[in-house]
Structure 1
Amino acid sequence: MLTSPPAKPLQPATSIVVLLVSLSSASLSSSIISANSSASNSAAAEPHDDSMPTFVPRGVVVKKKHIMHDAIGFSSAEKGKNYTMEWYELFQLGNCTFPHMRPENDTPFWCNQGAACFYKGIDDVYWSQNGTLEKVGEISGGQFNKMARWVQDDNQTGVYYETWTVRSDPGTNSNLWFESYDCSQFVHRTYRYLSQQGARLYSRSQTNYTKIFLYSGEPTYLGDNDSIFREPSAKTLAEDIRKFYHAFRSQQSYVDLILSLAEAFHKVVEERSFYLYYNFEYWHLPMKYPYVQIMYEEVHLP
C-alpha cells in the first residue's frame, strides 16, 4: 500500500487545465522513467514547487497488440507548469497478470500491486506521436486540491492491478463477472470525481480504452491462499492451479515457450478452463468461445 505526504493546497484562484492523454506504445518514454529513477526506492517523493503528491511510475504496455495506456495531464494556467498523473502496475504488466512460481514455496507469489503516479512534465511530442493529447476541460485550484486528496484515498483503497475483464459472452447484454482494475479504470474514476466536483469535461475525439476480455460461464469460487495451498484436503486443486500458472511463467527458453503455449491452449481452449486470481481470491472460469479478446471500448466522458 502506498502513502504520500500531505499536500500543501494550491491557491484557490489557481486555474488548472485538464488534458486527456492516451497512447499505444512499448513502454513509457525514457525521459519519464529517468526523471523518476532517483525516487524509485521510496513510496512517495517529496512535493515539488506546487506541492502536489508524487508517486513513482513503473511498467510497460504492449505495442504489438496495440494496447493503449491512458493518463491525465494537468497544466497550471497561473504558473505554466505541466504534470502527468496515471495509474500503473508497479511491477510490470506480466507480473500483475500471472504469478511467480517459486520452487521453495507452494503458494503462487503475486506482484500485482498498482498505484497512482504523479510527476512533473508532459512529454507532448511522445504522447502526440504515439496516441492523442487533447484538452478536455478546466478545473479550479480548489477542485484540484480535493482531487489530490481523493487520489491518495483511492491509492490506499484499491492496491492491486487486475488485467482481465471477464464476461459471459461478447454481446452487449452479457453478464459482467469481473471488471478490470487498471489505468483506464483510474482515468474513469478520476473523471467521475472531477465531474461530481462540478468540472465540465468534453472531447472532440472518440475516447477509446483497451479491454482484455475473458469469456466464461458462471465462475466458481475456490478460496484464498490459506484455504487452497495450506489445506491438505485441497492438495489436488492446489497442484492444478500451480500447473496452470506454470505455463505462463516468465523467462522461458524458446523451446519451453512453445511447449507452454501448447499447454496453455490445451487448458484454456480444449479443456475450457482458466484460473483467475481476483482481489486475493481464486476463481475457476469455465471458458467459452471466443475465449480471449483484446478490444477497444468507447467510454464517454461524464
Structure 2
Amino acid sequence: RFDHRPTADSYCEALYPFCPTGDRDGRIPYMREDDVISVYRLQTPVWEFKYGDLLGKVQHIMHDAIGFSSSHTGANYTMEWYELFQLGNCTFPHLRQEAPAPFWCNQGAACFFEGIDDLHWSQNGTLEKIGEVTFNHMAQWVQDDNRTGIYYETWTVRSDPAPNSTVWFESYDCSQFVHRTYRKLKELGAKLSSRSPTYYTKIYLYSGEPTYLGNDSAIFGTPALQNLAADIRKFYFTFRPHQSFVDFAFTLLEAYKKIVLDKTFYLYYNFEYWHLPMKYPYMQIVYEEVPLP
C-alpha cells in the first residue's frame, strides 16, 4: 500500500487505452440509500477481443470483473481492475540505453463504467448474479483502494505446489481486486452465492527461500554490485517486447536455461529486487477454486 498514486511516466504508452469509456479513478456515482443493487460475477478469457475463447480453453487464463445493476434506475455498471499499460509491461520492464536500471510501466487501477456487455462476458465466460447490496458505503472504499494499491503484480511465488506451502509473494491483479471487493460487499451485508464453483486464474512461480537484493539505487548505483546489475539486465533482456519470431525462439531457449537449468528468477516487488532459487515445477498456470466469502 502507498499513500498516493504517482503520475505515470510519459514513456509508458498503452497500445489499448486504459478505461476509455469510464472513470479512470474508479469513482462510483451516488445511488439512493434504499436502492437495491444486484451484484454480478463477470469472467472472460484474457484478450478475448483478439483471440476469442482460445486462452480460456487452452490455459484457463481468465480476466475477472464485477457487475452491478440498480433496481431503482435499471442502469447497469461494470467495475474491473487491470493494467494501465497492458500485461507485458506489468510483468517485465523496458531496458533503456540512457538508464542503468530497468524501467517499469507496472501500474494497475480500477475502472468503473456504465453498462454490462452481456455478450462479452457470457459468450465465453461467466455472467452470474451472486447477490444484492445497498451500495454507497462502498464508493469511498473503491477510491481508497485505488489510490493506495497501485502496482500490478503478475506472479504468485510459492515454495511448492502443495496446498499449505509457503507463499513468498502474493500477486496483485484483477482477481485479487475482485476478492477484495467481495469481502467488502460481505462486510456491508451482502450475502453472496454462486450456482457453480468459483474458479480464478493464478500464475505461480515455485522457489526456495528468496534472497533480498536491494532497490534500484542500491543495485544499479553501486559499483561493487555491477555484476549483479548486469545479470539482472541480461535476465530481463530475454523477455523484451517486440521481438521477431527468430529472436523469440532463441528467447525461449535462454529463458529455459536461466529458469530451469540455472534455477534463477529475478522478481521485482514493491520497488525491490529479489532472487528466486527456482524449484520444480518452476511455473504453473492454475485455475483454482476460491469460494465466495
- Is TM more than 0.5 here? yes
| Contact 2:27/2:143 (<8 A) preserved | no
1:258 to 1:4, Cα distance in 2 relative to 1, 3 A:
closer
Structure 1 residues 173-192: aligned runs within 5 Å:
173-192=164-183
Q: Is 2:188 the counterpart of 1:197?
A: yes
Partner of 2:81: 87
Q: CA deviation at 1:130?
A: 1.4
Q: Which residue of 2 aligns with 1:154?
A: 145
Give the CA deviation at 1:9. 3.1
Cα distance in 1 for partners of 2:118, 2:55 equals 20
User: 3-state DSSP class of the match of 1:201?
Assistant: coil
User: Could you say which residue in structure 2 is the equivalent of 1:98?
Assistant: 92
- What is the CA–CA distance in structure 2 between the aligned matches of 1:258 and 1:198, rounded to whole Å? 52
Q: Which residue pairs with 1:233 in the alignment?
A: 224
Stretches of structure 2 lacking an aligned partner (at least 5 in a row): 7-23
| Distance in 1 separating the partners of 2:55 and 2:152 | 16
> How far apart, in 1, do the equivalents of 2:98 and 2:55 lie?
31
Match of 2:204 in 1: 213
Q: What is the distance in 2 between the residues matched to 1:120 and 1:197? A: 22
| Shift in Å, 1:126 | 1.6
* Aligned mates of 1:168, 1:7 — CA distance in 2: 39
Give the whole-Å Cα distance in 1 for the aligned partners of 2:29 and 2:286: 40
Give the counterpart of 1:255 among 225, 241, 246: 246
What's the CA shift string for 1:23-65, capped at 9, x where partnerless?
1142459xxxxxxxxxxxxxxxxxxxxxxxxxxxxxxx95553
Distance 2:282 2:233 in 1: 21
Question: Does 2:31 match 1:10?
Answer: yes
Q: Relative to 1, partners in 2 of residues 1:28 and 1:280: Cα closer, same or farther, differing over 3 Å?
A: farther
CA distance in 2, matches of 1:114, 1:5: 11
Q: Which shifted more, 212-221 or 249-258?
A: 249-258
Which sits farther off after the overlay, 197-206 or 237-246? Answer: 197-206
> Does the 8 Å CA contact 2:25/2:111 hold for their aligned counterparts?
no
Letter in 2 for 1:91: F
SS at match of 2:136: helix
Equivalents in 2 of 1:88, 1:122: separation in Å?
Answer: 17
Name the count of aligned residue pairs: 268
The question of whether the paired residues in 2 share the 8 Å contact of 1:25 and 1:130 is answered with: no
**Distance apart, 1:7 and its partner CA:** 5.8
Alignment of 1:112-151 (within 5 A): 112-140=106-134, 144-151=135-142
Aligned partner of 1:71 in structure 2 is 65
Deviation track 1:275-302 (CA, whole Å, cap 9, x = no partner) reads 0001111000000000000011111111
TM-score in terms of structure 2 length: 0.88
| Runs (4+) off by over 6 Å | none
Aligned CA distance change for structure 1 residues 265 and 7 (closer, same or farther; 3 Å): closer
Matched, 1:289 2:245: no
The one-letter code matched in structure 2 to 1:114 is: G
Q: Which residue of 2 aligns with 1:274?
A: 265
1:137–1:202 CA contact under 8 A, matched in 2: yes
Specify the alignment match of 1:19 in structure 2: 40
Asked if 1 retains the 8 angstrom alpha-carbon contact of 2:40 and 2:128, the reply is yes
